[in-house]
């Protein structure tokens, strides 16, 4: 089915494609820190973060699952986990999976670290910088799922070049995904969703899995709601959910 998805799946009639994203790796995120942190969160950043942070200066282990001290059967990656709601939900429901979470926003990172400590989670590693650094570091065909949920859409024309998705990023996503692996993308920006479809189609290694309009209009039950999605819905913006399989 996947080879013909682009021709047979119901189109996204309300979307208009945006200009192609530049491949220059400009910073794709905004501020690094918000309101002052509590004493506990400052402690977590100083004590727990160094234990969970990936060391990208060293090559990845021969088996990526060896990043974790507990047995895991595969690795999933979330890019821009915010405060960690989705990442924590996935970790709770997939205890045999190791997770790598990327988030440059210090306040969100500290919130995740608090939950990791409270729940004694052993299956999460983090990177507090640009996710493209992790993508470049990952071995070929080493990740089972990649999540990019409600990234900053940079909606102004002069900002489009800051969007994380680009031909180069899609190429790295496809390279890191194992065969039959999944890339999940969600956005409340029609232009960004259209661009994601365009970029994935041009890459050729990622096939859109939608067979009917509800597949991209309705959030699947295994996609937990995030605060960014909730905010968009409250403000009257509809979310779009896209899933791609690696050939």
Catalytic residues: 152
Q: Which of 55, 53, 57, 73 is nearest to 65 (CA)?
A: 73
Q: Which helix (H) or strand (E) holds 244?
A: strand 240-246
Distances (CA, A) of 247 to 6, 111, 216: 14, 36, 20
> Which letter does DSSP use for residue 53 in this model?
B
Sheet strands side by side (includes 97-102): 124-127, 97-102, 74-79, 143-149, 177-187, 240-246, 206-208
- Phi and psi at residue 29, to the nearest 5°: -125, 165
Q: Which of 110, 119, 126 is nearest to 34 (CA)?
A: 110
């Amino acid at each position: 089915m996947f080879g013909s998805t682009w021709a047979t799946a119901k189109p996204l009639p309300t979307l208009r494609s945006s200009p192609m994203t530049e491949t220059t790796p400009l910073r794709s995120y905004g501020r690094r820190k918000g309101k002052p942190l509590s004493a506990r969160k400052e402690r977590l950043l100083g004590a727990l973060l160094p234990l969970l942070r990936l060391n990208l200066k060293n090559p990845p282990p021969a088996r990526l699952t060896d990043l974790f001290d507990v047995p895991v059967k595969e690795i999933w990656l979330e890019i821009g986990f915010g405060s960690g709601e989705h990442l924590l939900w996935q970790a709770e429901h997939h205890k045999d999976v190791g997770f790598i979470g990327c988030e440059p926003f210090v306040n969100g990172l500290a919130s995740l670290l608090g939950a990791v400590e409270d729940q004694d989670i052993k299956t999460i590693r983090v990177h507090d910088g640009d996710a493209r650094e992790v993508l470049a570091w990952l071995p070929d065909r080493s990740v089972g799922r990649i999540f990019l949920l409600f990234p900053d859409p940079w909606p102004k024309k002069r900002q489009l070049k800051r969007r994380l998705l680009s031909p180069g990023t899609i190429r790295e996503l496809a390279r890191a995904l194992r065969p039959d692996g999944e890339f999940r993308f969600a956005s409340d920006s029609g232009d960004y969703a259209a661009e994601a479809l365009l970029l994935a189609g041009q890459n050729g290694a990622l096939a859109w899995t939608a067979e009917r309009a509800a597949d991209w209009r309705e959030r699947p039950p295994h996609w937990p709601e995030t605060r960014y999605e909730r905010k968009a819905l409250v403000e009257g913006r509809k979310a779009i959910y896209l899933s791609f399989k690696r050939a």
